[in-house]
Structure formats: C-alpha cells, structure tokens
Amino acid sequence: MSSTRHDPADRSQILKGAVISGVINAVINGAIQAFLLKGSGPIPLSADAISAGTPTVLGSAVPLAVSLAMILTAVSHWTLKAPKKPFVPMALWLVVKHGVLAFGALVAAAVVWQRAIGTVEVGVATAVVILGVLAGLVAAAVNYMTIAAVVEHDR
C-alpha cells in the first residue's frame, strides 16, 4: 500500500473517523433510549430466561446493535469518497457479517453476564449509559472494519 498525507486508507485516519462516528452514535442512541425509557422503574441488565416477559438492558441492546451494525456498514460504504470495492458482493457480505458478529457478541456477553453475575437491576440513567456506550462501540467498530475492508489500496 502506498501511503500519502491525504490517503483516506491511512489507518490512523480511519480510526479517528471511527471514534468520531462512535461518539456521535453513542450520544444519539443514548438520547433515543432516554426518551424511550423515560418514566420506567429499575430495569434488569439480563434475565435468567429466554423470554423473560420484561425488557432487559442487554435484551434491548441486541436488536439495537444488530440494526446499527447492518445499517452503518451500508452507510459507511455508500458515503465513502475514496475508490472502493463494489457494494455487491463485498459490502453486502460485510452487512451480513457485521450483523451476525454484533448478534453473537452481545448474546454471548449477556449469557456470560447472567451466568457469572446473575440478575442485576439498574436505574434508567445507568441503562441509558450502557445502551449508548454499546451503540457507540458498535458504530466505531463497524465504521473502522467497513472502511478498512472496502477501500481500494494502491499496490
């Protein structure tokens, strides 16, 4: 890979953009969750059942992370100005891969949490912070992985 000052494929530039994307998404999704959870009582982080009947923080995080991963992968590809690989099949595969990765990682984390710690209830503010941070981490990781994978490098 040849690298110049303005090379958009520069890893540090990609990382900087990913961090900015993550912070923006954390704030936006934290605000959305604050609106949705306003007026709720304590919320369990996880529950010891597949269908708990009550919403949990990590249960809410799974569809949030999966949808963010898939949408932001496509958006990262479409908004990238640098020479890039075609959407089909490269970025389409990344959309699926990032969605599955987000699903698997969060479900595994929730199961390990439930097994190791058990059911812990948290207040709305803590739930909002957790969901916002998870959304930011997903957004940053997806942005970095997508751009690093689809940018055409000079050889």
Q: Is residue 84 part of a domain?
A: yes
Q: Is residue 70 part of a domain?
A: yes
Domain count, the chain: 1
Going by C-alpha positions, the residue among 45, 42, 21, 22 that lies closest to residue 109 is 45
Q: Is residue 4 part of a domain?
A: no
* The two structure tokens encoding residue 55: 């919403």
pLDDT at 3 over 80: no
Q: Is residue 101 part of a domain?
A: yes
**Distance, CA of 95 to CA of 100 (rounded, Å):** 9
Per-residue pLDDT reduced to its tens digit, 22-66:
999 999 999 999 999 999 999 999 988 777 688 899 999 999 999
Question: What is the C-alpha radius of gyration for the chain, rounded to an integer number of angstroms?
Answer: 18
Helix (H) or strand (E) holding 121: strand 121-122
Q: Which residue bears the tokens 């990913």?
A: 18
> What is the predicted pLDDT for the residue at 6?
41
> What is the predicted pLDDT for the residue at 155?
55
* The two structure tokens encoding residue 75: 């958006």
Per-residue pLDDT reduced to its tens digit, 122-131:
999 999 999 9
Q: Is residue 126 part of a domain?
A: yes
pLDDT at 8 over 70: no
Q: Is residue 2 part of a domain?
A: no
Going by C-alpha positions, the residue among 42, 146, 153, 43 that lies closest to residue 98 is 146
Q: Is 73 left (phi over 0), alpha (psi -120 to 50) or beta?
A: alpha
Q: Is residue 82 part of a domain?
A: yes
Q: Is residue 51 part of a domain?
A: yes
Rounded mean pLDDT of 8-18? 84
Residues with Cβ within 8 Å of residue 70, at least 6 apart in sequence: 95, 96, 98, 99
pLDDT at 154 over 90: no
Q: pTM of the prediction? A: 0.89
Helix (H) or strand (E) holding 44: strand 43-44
In which band, very low, low, confident or very high, does the pLDDT at 108 lie, cut at 50, 70 and 90? Answer: very high
Boundaries of domain holding 108: 11-150
